[in-house]
Structure 1
Amino acid sequence: MVVLTKPSLEQVSLPTPHKPRSCFSGIPVIDMLEPGAEALLVKACEEFGLFKVTNHGVPMELVARLEDEAVKFFSLSQMEKERSGPANPFGYGNRKIGGNGDVGWLEYLLLEVTSKSISHASLAFLKETCARSFCSVLNEYIQAMRRLASEVLELMAQGLMIEPRNIFSKVVMDEESDSVLRLNHYPPCPLLLQGLNGTMTGFGEHTDPQLISVLRSNNTSGLEISLRDGTWVSVLPDTESFFINVGDSLQVLTNGRFRSVRHRVVANGYKSRVSMVYFGGPPSRERLAPLPLLMGEGEQSLYREFTWCEYKRCAYRSRLADNRLEQFES
């Protein structure tokens, strides 16, 4: 789907271009209804930290409705989108990612999520700028993402053969879970059509902080991941599936067995890319440390215990590409 708006991105110093990467067809595909899916899922978390799920139970009609509403929002005038002021950290953002100097070829809407819906603060902003239908579909989508995240996390526990089955999922399903929904719009980059050598960074390389991220995008490429050997590869879009990223918190809980995948997004010269990402996070008070159930005899903990609140304070002080977990290593 093409977004017709022309964001005012020209005034910002642009990220350094880099060479296009080859497409990678080896991303694991997990059929959530297939017997043995839990073992395949664990293997994918260990090898890549990224996989996509099919037979996920999320209606494609719901996905299409939210994408349509997102397109309507990003097609508003710049003045309307900026009515609440710059994202700090929630709300509408344009070009600037966080407060530490990171920029990208994108605009976005970052929404705080409660246990059942978007937060009152995010809801107030949306009521100022958007139709009631946007708020309604957002809440419906958030509930679907919480269910999907929970089911995936329970499959992970099952594949790791640890009890209780909800040992991971109860963290993101907690009434005080600190979760986020992010809608991104990467507009066509005119500089790429003017013969710029390479590609333009839409969202710089990083790992996700939470336990897992559930990603869906339109049929425009742009996502890239770093393999274990440091090679960057392009991930083909799939509008029928959801991509699942392992986040830093889950890497800690599994003592590094699961990999928090480093990834980024590059801009496209011709097409808009719209993505919707649900980040399933723990409550602020949650203490994170490797689970003893997953520690072998004599195995040393790679991370000291810390709270999610401590991690977030560290994240707000860092740049996108920083390895935030370094500060919590044993």
Structure 2
Amino acid sequence: MVVLANTPTEQISIIKPQKAHVHFSNIPIIDLSKPGCEIAIVKALEDFGFFKVTNHGVSKEIMSKLEAEAVKFFSLSQVEKDKAGYPNPCGYGNKRIGGNGDFGWVEYLLFEINSKPISSTSLGFLREHCASLFCSALNEYISSVRKLSSNVLELMAQGLGIKQRDIFSKLVTSQESDSMFRLNHYPACPLLKELNCNLTGFGEHTDPQLISILRSNNTNGFQIALKDGGWLSVPPDEGSFFINAGDILQVLTNGRLRSVKHRVLTNGSKARVSMIFFGGPPLNQMITPLPQLLKGEEKKYIDFTWADYKKAAFKSRLADNRLALFEREMTH
């Protein structure tokens, strides 16, 4: 049985179920093995900032192995899990999301990802044998999704007509890349089943990095915001990955590709476990709209480094529009 501390939930929003969105019911699904997928990727990110990929090259064994290790960890007693609490922002967290007052019905493990594999010593809160298994599953999975992110970013560049195929992917594969990896557990809340409502698991937000690659178990809860302000529930698929553009990709493309707002709702019947790779650039990387995509347009954003943006993100609330701080005043 998975255990979650009985922290007061007054600061976690309760949301009544919504009717299905009438304007759009199908998530863009892109088969990476088919010709023309690069064009489909760009269109999906222009329209929704989000898509699902199949034939992605990551084995089900790698995905299942890490999920099993994550479930083992989140099934530990609260005392044991609390030992994994590192100095903010990484390590184990429970309900509190960041340091600015955001709460959700979630517990998580957050890791900084760099060029070196995660060592079992950093998982010292587990017994030696368990730490070794967890570490092995974690590194194997991260290596696979990093390759997937590189592949998708290169196809994206191709779809945008950029000759330099690695113009995006090199930012994520660089030795200095500043990426993150997150394991989220959203326990079932039986009381909600009786009340016919949902709790906010992870509040609405955009991701700061270039690209996010999400995989979860077969449990509902993930939603994306559409351009008209409605929320679309994304059907789960444990064999596929869901990919969304982040704020940095929106800036690099001068707003052409959309950083999508999304959230997670929990329910009373089944726990949700998700794994997210956040592909980030080096801290000193200058972020500016690419000249190849401007074609005479004004730049919508000022120049800044990823370190600047990351600092602003840590000071913000989840739902804040961080990009507004970096928008240029347009001349017309």
> TM-score w.r.t. structure 2 length?
0.94
Aligned to 1:321: 319
Cα 1:116–1:153 change in 2 (3 A) is farther
Distance 1:160 1:85 in 2: 42
Pairing of 1:80-229 with structure 2 (within 5 A): 80-85=80-85, 88-118=88-118, 123-129=120-126, 131=130, 132-195=132-195, 198-229=197-228
Distance 1:258 1:189 in 2: 36
The one-letter code of the counterpart of 1:319 is R
Aligned to 1:13: 10
Stretches of 4+ aligned residues off by more than 6 angstroms: none
Q: Which moved more, 1:135-144 or 1:9-18?
A: 9-18
Q: CA deviation at 1:8?
A: 1.0
Spell out, residue by residue over 1:123-142, the C-alpha distance to the aligned partner (whole angstroms, 9 max, x if none).
54412325110001101111
The one-letter code of the counterpart of 1:174 is S
Distance 1:235 1:138 in 2: 25
1:53 lines up with 2:53 in the alignment: yes
Contact residue 184 and residue 274 of structure 1 kept, 8 A: yes
Cα 1:19–1:153 change in 2 (3 A) is same
Q: CA deviation at 1:268?
A: 1.5
Q: CA deviation at 1:116?
A: 4.5
Aligned to 1:33: 33
Contact residue 3 and residue 76 of structure 2 kept, 8 A: no
SS at match of 1:200: strand
1:67 lines up with 2:64 in the alignment: no
Spell out, residue by residue over 1:309-329, the C-alpha distance to the aligned partner (whole angstroms, 9 max, x if none).
000110111000000011000
Q: CA deviation at 1:86?
A: 5.6
Q: CA deviation at 1:44?
A: 0.2
What runs of 5+ residues in structure 1 fail to find an aligned partner?
none
Contact residue 92 and residue 108 of structure 2 kept, 8 A: yes
SS at match of 2:57: coil
The one-letter code of the counterpart of 2:66 is L
Q: CA deviation at 1:114?
A: 1.1
Cα 1:13–1:129 change in 2 (3 A) is farther
CA RMSD of aligned residues (A): 1.4
Distance 2:205 2:286 in 1: 23
Contact residue 9 and residue 95 of structure 1 kept, 8 A: no
SS at match of 1:166: coil
SS at match of 1:129: coil
Q: CA deviation at 1:87?
A: 5.5
> TM-score w.r.t. structure 1 length?
0.94
Cα 1:6–1:34 change in 2 (3 A) is same
Distance 1:41 1:147 in 2: 17
The one-letter code of the counterpart of 2:175 is E
SS at match of 2:15: coil
Distance 2:173 2:86 in 1: 29
Contact residue 197 and residue 267 of structure 2 kept, 8 A: no
Cα 1:96–1:57 change in 2 (3 A) is same
The one-letter code of the counterpart of 2:248 is S
Q: CA deviation at 1:296?
A: 1.8
The one-letter code of the counterpart of 1:309 is A
The one-letter code of the counterpart of 2:49 is G
Q: Which moved more, 1:135-144 or 1:23-32?
A: 23-32
Distance 1:303 1:207 in 2: 17
Spell out, residue by residue over 1:184-242, the C-alpha distance to the aligned partner (whole angstroms, 9 max, x if none).
000001330342x5321000000001000000000000001100111111111011110
The one-letter code of the counterpart of 1:137 is A
Spell out, residue by residue over 1:234-284, the C-alpha distance to the aligned partner (whole angstroms, 9 max, x if none).
111011110001000000000000000000000110100000000000010
The one-letter code of the counterpart of 1:316 is F
Distance 1:85 1:70 in 2: 15
Distance 2:83 2:238 in 1: 31
* Sequence identity (%): 59
Contact residue 200 and residue 266 of structure 2 kept, 8 A: yes
Distance 2:206 2:148 in 1: 21
Distance 1:20 1:233 in 2: 12
Pairing of 1:264-283 with structure 2 (within 5 A): 264-283=263-282
The one-letter code of the counterpart of 1:277 is I
Q: CA deviation at 1:183?
A: 0.2
